[in-house]
Amino acid sequence: MTRLSQALTAKACWAQRWVPVALVFVILLLLSACAEQTWANDEAVQAARYHHGGAPELTLVTIMNYTTGRGDHTALFINATERVLFDPAGSWALANIPERNDVHFGMTPAIGASFYASHVRPSHFAVVQRLAVAPDVAEMAQALALQTGPVPPARCASATSRLLQQLPGLESIRSSYFPHVVMQGFATLPGVVTYELHHDSTEFQAEILAVQRPI
């Protein structure tokens, strides 16, 4: 049994706790006005563009909490004619990496490794789900990501799931505010290959590069 399975099993009781639905939506509504516009200029974006090679691909990343067994963040690497990261409502950023409303350009393996390393730590691990897709699906995903942001706080899973369910072949993805629910839905798609990244792995540095290797 993987650590993911153990965490989900051990903490399944969280779902039995009652959280006032109205309060949750009131909070989300208040947060919705807090999304910050970021739009890098054309020169910066053009200079950063990176062609990754390999098959067009979607990589869903879910940051899982060891303690709760729940997902705390959702992000999506998109490998189309260029490789970008859709990090809705995310806090990760590098000064030399241009961003347009939650879409980060220039996602080389080294830059991608920075994203993974900033999230995988003693309290959290990453579930990485890779799916090869048709070229037009990858291009559509990138276009939708650019249209979606900036995403308000606490809506990373919602924004990502709504993007995914618009793509041909991914219509079965259920919209959810919970990252682990989106992760579980994505796992049911044919062809998905899943990996886990843990901070205490002796091969961690090699693994964060391996999960980015072109397929």
**Each residue's pLDDT tens digit, 94-114:** 999 999 999 999 999 999 999
In a domain, 24, yes or no: no
Evaluate if residue 17 carries a pLDDT over 80. Answer: no
Torsion of Cα atoms, 139 then 141 then 143 then 146, to 10°: -140
In a domain, 193, yes or no: yes
In a domain, 124, yes or no: yes
In a domain, 36, yes or no: no
**Each residue's pLDDT tens digit, 77-88:** 999 999 999 999
| Count of domains for the chain | 1
Query: Which pLDDT band, with edges at 50, 70 and 90, does 24 fall under?
Result: very low
Lowest mean pLDDT among 17-26, 113-122, 134-143: 17-26
Beta strands in the chain (DSSP E): 57-65, 71-79, 83-86, 99-100, 103-104, 124-132, 193-197
First to last CA, the chain: 26
Range of the domain at 69: 3-14+47-210
Is the distance from CB of 156 to CB of 181 less than 8 angstroms?
no
Helix axis angle for 156-164 and 135-148, nearest 10°, is 140
In a domain, 178, yes or no: yes
pTM reported for the whole predicted model: 0.86
**Each residue's pLDDT tens digit, 159-213:** 999 999 999 999 999 999 999 999 999 999 999 999 999 999 999 999 999 999 9
Is the distance from CB of 158 to CB of 166 less than 8 angstroms?
no
**Each residue's pLDDT tens digit, 125-171:** 999 999 999 999 999 999 999 999 899 999 999 999 999 999 999 99
Query: Which pLDDT band, with edges at 50, 70 and 90, does 36 fall under?
Result: confident
Evaluate if residue 33 carries a pLDDT over 70. Answer: no
Is the distance from CB of 162 to CB of 141 less than 8 angstroms?
no
